Amino acid sequence: MRILALDAALARCSAAVLGDGAILAQAAEAGARGQPAILPPMAARVLAEAGMAAGDLDAVAVTVGPGSFAGLRAAIALAHGIALAAGCPVVGVRVAEALAEQLALPPGWRLWVAIDSRRGRVFLDRDGAIATVALADLPRPAAPVAIAGDAANEVAARLAARGDPVMLTAARLPHATAVARVAARRLAGSIPPLAAQPLYIDPPEAKLPAGGLRPAPAP
């Protein structure tokens, strides 16, 4: 199974090629801006390092969110374009799935992934149940929880201050190597399928004017 994986969901772009269970090439660049320009040459570079062309791929994997509006759209559009040229499927991977792949938790601990939603809120992914939660209104965990994601520090600190059983992990940003491994399991049928479409939790902030974008044509 040869998979090209892409990620630009948060403040890092990364790409990786998985072949027969091994990572053959990978690259990453920090930064929350410029993903549409950074990711395409990065994808081409890791494919070249792996000795592959797009036509050699069995699948393209991509993180679908939650995360940056621009980063998600850039990575998902690129993934669909490469897959179309290669004639292979596109596999969606949640940010939380990729972060979980990067961790080994003690028995009995559950993973919460907290992603900054700004304005004092986070996207909180708890076993695939995702909601926007105010930092002041974090739910009480029913079991010990490990916190990952780019808002992990703040969430873990607030839970600890309440006396909740919490552990802060080192997993902050997803990496394409983990995206590729999750996608391989998804393709093998070990976990349910997930469409490669942006996972938006909040409704769009921009709304069309009530009268439309243009005035009605003159009679």
For residue range 130-153, what is the model confidence (pLDDT) as tens digits? 999 999 999 999 999 999 999 999
Query: What are the residue ranges spanned by the domains of the chain?
Result: 2-95+174-187, 103-168
Q: To the nearest whole number, what is the mean pLDDT of the chain? A: 92
28-32, 88-92, 140-144, 170-174: range with lowest mean pLDDT: 28-32
> Residues for the chain: how many in total?
219
Averaged pLDDT, 59-85: 95
CA distance 2 to 76: 18
- CATH class given for the domain over 2-95+174-187: alpha beta
User: Distance between CA atoms of 149 and 164, rounded to whole angstroms?
Assistant: 18
* Distance from C-alpha of 62 to C-alpha of 66, rounded to nearest angstrom: 12
* pLDDT given at position 34: 78
Confidence of residue 200 (pLDDT cuts 50, 70, 90): confident
Q: Where are the strands (E) in 79-200, listed by range?
A: 90-94, 110-118, 121-126, 129-134, 145-148, 166-168
Spatial neighbors of 32 by CB under 8 A, at least 6 apart, are 10, 11, 68, 71
3-state secondary structure 58-88: CEEEEEEECCCHHHHHHHHHHHHHHHHHHCC
For range 163-174, the mean pLDDT = 96
